[in-house]
Structures are given as structure tokens and as C-alpha cells.
Amino acid sequence: MIEAHHLSKVYDRGLYALRDLSLTVEHGEFVFLTGPSGAGKSTLLRLLLRQELASEGELVVDGEHLSDLTASQVQAYRRSIGFIFQDFKLIPRKTVLENVAFVPRVLSASATQQRRKTFQVLKWVGLQHRMNAYPVELSGGEQQRVAIARALVNDPMLVLADEPTGNLDPDLSLEIMNLLREINARGTTVLVATHDRELIRRVGRRAITLDHGQIVEVMDGDRGDGVVVRPVTAV
Amino acid sequence: MQVLRYCFEEATASFWRGRRSGAMSVMTSAAAIFVLGALLMLTENLERVIGGWESAAELVVYVSDEATGDERAAIERRISASAVARSHTLVSKSDALRRFRADFAELASVIDELDSNPLPASYEVRLQSDPGLGSAVDDFADTLRGAAGVADVRYDREWIARISMGVTALRALGALVVFALVVAAALTVANVVRLAGHTRRGELEIMRLVGAPLAYVRGPFVVEGMLQGGVGAAVALGMLWGAFALGEFYYGSMIATLLSATPATFLPVELYAILLAGGLAVGSVGGMVGARRTARAERTV
Ligand SMILES: Nc1ncnc2c1ncn2[C@@H]1O[C@H](COP(=O)(O)OP(=O)(O)OP(=O)(O)O)[C@@H](O)[C@H]1O
Ligand SMILES: [Mg+2]
């Protein structure tokens, strides 16, 4: 699903946010990106969302070379991706329903399709009873569930989450992770950037650790208790 | 159709939310359209006045009382033979007196006290309306002036031409002013729409991230600009109509006299449509500029 070949991202003043990074994420995989602050996790997700272009190397998602996409191809590509952020990025002026329905709406879905999909995902994240509430009236966990519903409403093949639980307490974090695991169980590839090593341990999936823009460690999660640690030389 | 509906709903909501700053772009658009409309109305009516004068433009040849029959016949022959004259009529001394009595009834008694009729006979010559004949008419007037039995030649096309030039200059100057106002209006709309876009930046970011088509992203800006320009144009038309009605009320009879008894006209219907379309166009250009600027400023569009 995701193939990065010798990927580098250089910001001004020669700062390497990513340096010669290569990795592969299989179709239907659930992968954590972790590492200290400034390691390059968000940068990699931004490259994957095609918000920025790599300075060197190649990034291929589902067969698409991201550096070769035209503006309209970028739009089409993004329609196949769901994103979740630490700060939820909900629109305060819109209700829960409107926040979610907004996406199919601006993608020209028919009115019935908008309604059907929106109800379906809101029910799935367990918020069908709060549809007419505004984001400020919701708890952090509920807001993030709305954001997840919005990420799913378009049936993405890939879900990218940047610190989705950064603002939530441990119980809520696990709840959100369980939702992401369920999405993954239905075949969607999920990539989650997080600091929370405890959460990674509890979820038990492959975790790629970055530092200074490079992969320093890959842990193969055992989907449960113990964690198998495998130092990385090449990926 | 869905995209139109979306853009329209977003734009009206945004217009309403930002109605204070929106009032500013409506006002500048209204000012631009008002000046344009006033200019068109003014020049249109001035041109009608001039047109009336031009078609009535005459060359009047006053025959001296001492002119002999031969001299009169020679004058008349000269007029009929000229290429610039369309037709002519002889106004005899008694015709002239009758006319004078009708036009200036209160002065009639003055004339009656005189022993003889002081008014000369004249030939009123209607000229060809071809404007290219200007110098030929001048030559014609000069030769008549020198002819035996001619007391004087009066020819008014020269100052009509001068006024006509004045109108052209007014129009050019006005066009310049209108252009400046239109640019100012478009820029105001652009800034106001951009300001409104700033409050929608959340939506804009989400739209960008989910890969919404450009029409959804930029359309609301254009429609909002169009609304501002359109409302501005409507306000301007109302103001023009009011100004016209006031002018008509206070100066109507004077204007009517100037226009030789036909009343001044408000803008023709096509011009309403053109002004309204102009307001919409100015607004949507402003909206587009606003969308582009938002794109650059917020990197979201
Ligand atoms: N737009 C930018 N311009 C310049 N430098 C940037 C930019 N974005 C990120 N960086 C730098 O790139 C490096 C990687 O940043 P990134 O945000 O990817 O880290 P991160 O792993 O997500 O960190 P955190 O855990 O704090 O979110 C940092 O040193 C950061 O300062
Ligand atoms: Mg980050």
C-alpha cells in the first residue's frame, strides 16, 4: 500500500525532517509511527497526504507516485484517504451531523447518499444520539469520534492519524484505538503517529520508531501482550 | 447543480455573517455603478439635446431690405445649387413679424410702435446631416456672406460641435473615473471576501484535505463577491432613479425646454440590465481575486 524509497525531506536551512527513509506498509496493515518530538512523524504523514512533496526519493501509495500527480489527481488521491488529527479539526459552527456530512457534500455525493453514509458512520462511532450537538458541547473523546466518522464517511483505503489521542486520557485513548482497530479489521490500512508507547504496547501492532528523520527501530507487535523488538538495518 | 447550491448557501451565509464589512463592498460597488449610470444618463440626455439642435441646425441667410429681385433670385439659386443644403424656406418680413409676435407676446407692443417692420426676410436653410460636410458648410456660409443682397449669415453648427466635443471629453473623463471606481470596488470586494474566507478557514482546510474540487473551494468566494456587487448595483439603480426623480421634480420643465419639449429620459431598460450585470461582474472578479489571495495567504484553497 505504501512504499517509501530513500525518502528525504529537507526544510530551509538544511534541516532534514526525514533522511533517506525507506519503508513498506502492506495493504490492510495497522502501523504505528513513533519517536521523540521532531523525529519526522508528522512530516511523513504530510507527505502521504500530499500536502508537501519529498525533497528526494520516492513515495508510492497504491501504485500512485505522489510526486507525479497533477492538481486534480491530488484531489482524486486525497478522496481515498481519511485523516485524523490531534486537535480534531472540527468546524465549530457546524453540528456533528453537518461536520460529517460536509465531506460527501463537497465531493458531490447525492443527497440521499450523504445522509445514508453520514448516519451509518455516526452510528458506528456511537454518536447517533448527539448528531445535532455542536463540537463545543462534546467531550474530547466524542469530538475525536466525530473526526473519525468524518474520516470514514468517504470509505477511504488508507487512514492517517497524527497523534489522535494526544488530547485524550488513557481510557479514551484506548477506546479511540479500538475504533481504529475495527476500521483496520474491515480492510482499511491504518497509519497512526503517536508518542504513547504504552498505547502501542497495548494495541500490539507493528511500530516504526523514527529519530532525526530516520528509522531507528521496528517492533513487530504480537497483537497482545509481549512485544517483539527487532533492530533494523534495512527495510 | 449541487455545487451551485452549495456555493450559494455558503456565500449567503458568509455574506450575512460578515454583513458589516459586506456593507462596505456593497457601498463601493454602488458608488462605481452609480457614477457609471449617472454618466450614461447625463451624456445620453445631453446627446439628445445636441442631436435635436443638430437636426434643427440651420443656416439662416438674412436678406437686406434693399436687395433687388435679381439679387434675391441669385441667392436662392445659389442655395438650391449647393450640395450642403437639403432644403430651404423663405421667411418673408411679415412671416418674421408674425413669428416674433407669437414668441414674444409681451414685446409685441414695442414692435407695433415702430413705423415699419424692422425684421428682415430670410432663407432658412436645412443642412445635410453628414458631419463630414463641416468645412464645405463653412465655405458655403462664407460665399453667401459675400453675395450681393445678403445682410448677414448665421450658422450655429460651430458651437454645437464645440459642445459635442465637450460631451465627448466628459465621457472620457467619466470613463476614467468609473474605471478607477470599478477597480476600487473589485479590490474592496476581494478584501471583504477574503476576510469572510478567513472565518471559513476551517472548512477550507477540510475541503483541501478531502480533495474537494476547486469549484467547491473557490465558488463560494465568487458567489459572495457577486452578491455584494449585485446588491451594490441594485442600490445604485435605486439611487439613480431617486436622483432622476428629484431632478425631474425640481428642474423638469427647464430640462424639457432644453430637450425641446420632450421630457428627459431615465436609463433604457437594457442599461439597467447592463449596470446590474456590471455590478455582478465586478463582484465576481473581486471574489475570484479574494479566493486567490486566500489561497496564497492560508495555503488552503
Ligand atoms: N514547515 C516546516 N518548516 C521547517 N521545518 C519544519 C517544518 N515542519 C517540520 N519541520 C521540522 O522538521 C522536523 C520534524 O518535524 P515533525 O513535525 O515531522 O516532527 P514530529 O515527529 O511530528 O514531532 P512531534 O512528535 O512533536 O509532533 C522538526 O525538526 C521540525 O522542526
Ligand atoms: Mg507531529
Contact B212/A at CB under 8 A: yes
What distance in Å separates residue A194's CA from the closest CA in chain B? 20
**What pLDDT score does B283 carry?**
94
Eight-class DSSP state of B106: G
Per-residue pLDDT band for B176 (boundaries 50, 70, 90) equals very high
Eight-class DSSP state of A38: T
How far apart are the C-alpha atoms of A84 and B284, rounded to whole Å?
35
A79 interaction partners in chain B (CB closer than 8 Å): 210-211
**What pLDDT score does A159 carry?**
95
Tell me the residue length of chain B. 301
**What pLDDT score does A235 carry?**
41
Q: How many CB atoms lie within 10 A of CB B103?
A: 9
List domains and CATH numbers for chain B: 2-53+161-300 (no CATH), 67-148 (3.30.70.3040)
Is the CB of A34 within 6 Å of ligand 1? Answer: no
First-last CA distance in chain A: 15
Is the CB of A11 within 6 Å of ligand 1? Answer: yes
In tens, the pLDDT along B261-286 reads 566 666 678 888 889 999 999 999 99
Higher pLDDT, A103 or B114: A103
Q: The cell 447525492 sits on which residue?
A: A110
How far apart are the C-alpha atoms of A70 and B292, rounded to whole Å?
19
Q: How far is CA A54 from the centre of its chain?
A: 18
Beta strand A30-34 pairing with A189-193: parallel
Contact B1/A at CB under 8 A: no
The arithmetic mean of pLDDT across residues B158-168, rounded, is 79
The arithmetic mean of pLDDT across residues B233-238, rounded, is 94
- Quick check: A226 pLDDT over 50? no
Query: Looking at this protein, which amino acid is placed at residue A83?
Result: F
Q: What contacts A179, CB < 8 A, 6 or more positions away?
A: A125, A145, A148
Of the CA atoms within 13 Å of residue B226, those in its CB half-sphere come to 15
- Looking at chain A, the number of H-run helices and the number of E-run strands are 7, 11
- Quick check: B301 pLDDT over 50? no
The residue among A12, A3, A24, A92 whose CA lies nearest residue B201 is A92
Higher pLDDT, A75 or B158: A75
Contact B213/A at CB under 8 A: yes
**What pLDDT score does A145 carry?**
92
Contact A53/B at CB under 8 A: no
E runs forming strands in A62-196:
64-65, 81-85, 158-162, 189-193
B2 interaction partners in chain A (CB closer than 8 Å): 105, 108
In tens, the pLDDT along A191-210 reads 999 998 888 988 888 999 99
Contact B8/A at CB under 8 A: no
The residue among B125, B118, B294 whose CA lies nearest residue B208 is B294
- Quick check: B202 pLDDT over 50? yes
8 Å CB contact of B6 and A106: yes
B218 interaction partners in chain A (CB closer than 8 Å): none
Of all residues in chain A, the one with the smallest CA distance to B3 is A108
How far apart are the C-alpha atoms of A194 and A170, rounded to whole Å?
13
**Number of the ligand 1 atom closest to the C-alpha atom of A35:** 21
In tens, the pLDDT along A139-182 reads 988 999 999 999 999 899 999 999 998 888 888 888 889 899 99
Of all residues in chain B, the one with the smallest CA distance to A155 is B210
8 Å CB contact of A106 and B212: yes
Query: Looking at this protein, which amino acid is placed at residue B234?
Result: A
Minimum-distance CB partner of B203 among A76, A77, A91: A91
**What pLDDT score does B238 carry?**
92
ipTM of this predicted complex? 0.84
**What pLDDT score does B56 carry?**
65
Grid cell, residue A148, equals 473519525
In tens, the pLDDT along B1-19 reads 788 999 999 899 999 998 9
Is the CB of A43 within 6 Å of ligand 1? Answer: yes
- Quick check: A110 pLDDT over 70? yes
Q: How many CB pairs under 8 A join A and B?
A: 46
Burial zone of B187 (CB within 10 Å; 0-12 exposed, 13-18 middle, 19+ buried): middle
Grid cell, residue B282, equals 465586478
- Quick check: A227 pLDDT over 50? no
**Number of the ligand 1 atom closest to the C-alpha atom of A210:** 21
- Quick check: B52 pLDDT over 80? no
Per-residue pLDDT band for A232 (boundaries 50, 70, 90) equals very low
> What is the model's pTM?
0.75
**What pLDDT score does B116 carry?**
82
Per-residue pLDDT band for B136 (boundaries 50, 70, 90) equals confident
8 Å CB contact of B209 and A49: yes
A77 interaction partners in chain B (CB closer than 8 Å): 211
How far apart are the C-alpha atoms of A39 and B238, rounded to whole Å?
63
Ramachandran region, residue B289 (left: φ > 0; alpha: ψ -120 to 50; beta: rest): alpha
* Pocket test residue of A12, A33, A41 for ligand 1, highest count of atoms within 8 A of CB: A41
* Average pLDDT in chain B: 84
**What pLDDT score does A96 carry?**
95
Per-residue pLDDT band for B287 (boundaries 50, 70, 90) equals very high
Cα A17 to middle of ligand 1, angstroms: 6
B205 interaction partners in chain A (CB closer than 8 Å): 89
Contact B275/A at CB under 8 A: no
8 Å CB contact of A89 and B205: yes
The residue among B158, B135, B140, B164 whose CA lies nearest residue B150 is B140
Q: What contacts A68, CB < 8 A, 6 or more positions away?
A: none
The backbone torsions φ and ψ at residue B65, rounded to the nearest 5 degrees and listed phi first, read -60, -25
